[in-house]
Amino acid sequence: MTEKNCEMKSLTAYQRIRDMIIAREKLPGTRLVISELEEELGIGKGPLREALMRLDRSGLVRNIPYKGAVVAEAPRMREIEIIYEMRVKLETTLALEAMHNMDESGIARLESMLAEMQPGLDLQALYHLDRQFHSLIYEYSGLTHLCLVVDKLMESVDIFLINRPRDSNDLARMHEQHSLILEAFRKKDEAMLKDIFKQNIKNGLRLIKKVYSRFMFH
């Protein structure tokens, strides 16, 4: 297996195990046994080991001595609130940096993503598009290490957001906020961007609070 193929298999393994955890197919405390995952996913031991190490870094998995890889407990509400306080400050900073670097090509890519983010879309697909929309903005900041910090903070709350019940008002609000983010980038309006980014991120916290007890206690 070439190095590139191994990396691709490791990424595939990471994404599939991550999605199983987020979809609650693998509950907190579940052991992730490599031989079982190999049979379940049809992916070799090497890429699976690398995927589990990456999941450990993301906080979704814990490698426990004498027990191996185990699905981690989700963060408690107080920790989630602190995560969102950090996200507001950090992601707004990245978006403002990106505004100075965003070119017409970047605007066009954001427009294309927004066109796909229709309220009737499958919720999981919609969530991934939302992540891609934000990730593209942060990429234009040029602050790659801070982008990695954002990725980890977002991964720590994915489980609450990706499977939340569909609510037409929530989906309409999300689409409106992304439209306003795009408008702020077109206008190079820093004040508008700061305001709508704060609203958009805080909206995620509001959604988590709506579903938190269902995920933690059922």
- pLDDT exceeds cutoff 80 at 160: no
Angle 207-30-205 from CA coordinates, rounded to 5°:
10
The amino acid that residue 187 corresponds to is K
pLDDT above 90: percentage of residues in the chain: 51
- pLDDT exceeds cutoff 60 at 217: no
On average, the pLDDT of the chain sits at: 87
pLDDT at 170: 80
Say how far apart CA 177 and CA 200 lie, in whole Å.
6
pLDDT at 214: 67
Q: How confident is the model at residue 164 (pLDDT cuts 50, 70, 90)?
A: low
Q: How confident is the model at residue 88 (pLDDT cuts 50, 70, 90)?
A: very high
Say how far apart CA 205 and CA 183 lie, in whole Å.
23
Say how far apart CA 11 and CA 50 lie, in whole Å.
9
pLDDT at 72: 85
pLDDT at 75: 85
Structural domains of the chain, ranges and CATH numbers in brackets: 3-71 (1.10.10.10), 77-217 (1.20.120.530)
pLDDT at 216: 61
Count of residues making up the chain: 218
Q: Do 210 and 164 meet the contact criterion of CB atoms below 8 Å apart?
A: yes
Q: What is the mean pLDDT of residues 82-94?
A: 96
Write out the DSSP string of 114-151. HHH--TTS-HHHHHHHHHHHHHHHHHTTT-HHHHHHHH
Q: What is the mean pLDDT of residues 94-99?
A: 97
Q: How confident is the model at residue 139 (pLDDT cuts 50, 70, 90)?
A: very high
Q: How many Å is the Cα radius of gyration of the chain?
A: 18
- pLDDT exceeds cutoff 90 at 150: yes
Environment class of 168 (CB within 10 Å of its CB; exposed 0-12, middle 13-18, buried 19+): exposed
Q: What is the mean pLDDT of residues 24-29?
A: 85
- For residues 215 and 85, the model is more confident at 85
- pLDDT exceeds cutoff 80 at 35: yes
H or E stretch covering 70: strand 68-71
pLDDT at 122: 74
- pLDDT exceeds cutoff 70 at 29: yes
- CB neighbours (10 Å) of residue 212? 15
- pLDDT exceeds cutoff 60 at 218: no
Closest CA to 185 of 116, 58, 94: 94
- pLDDT exceeds cutoff 60 at 181: yes
Q: How confident is the model at residue 215 (pLDDT cuts 50, 70, 90)?
A: low
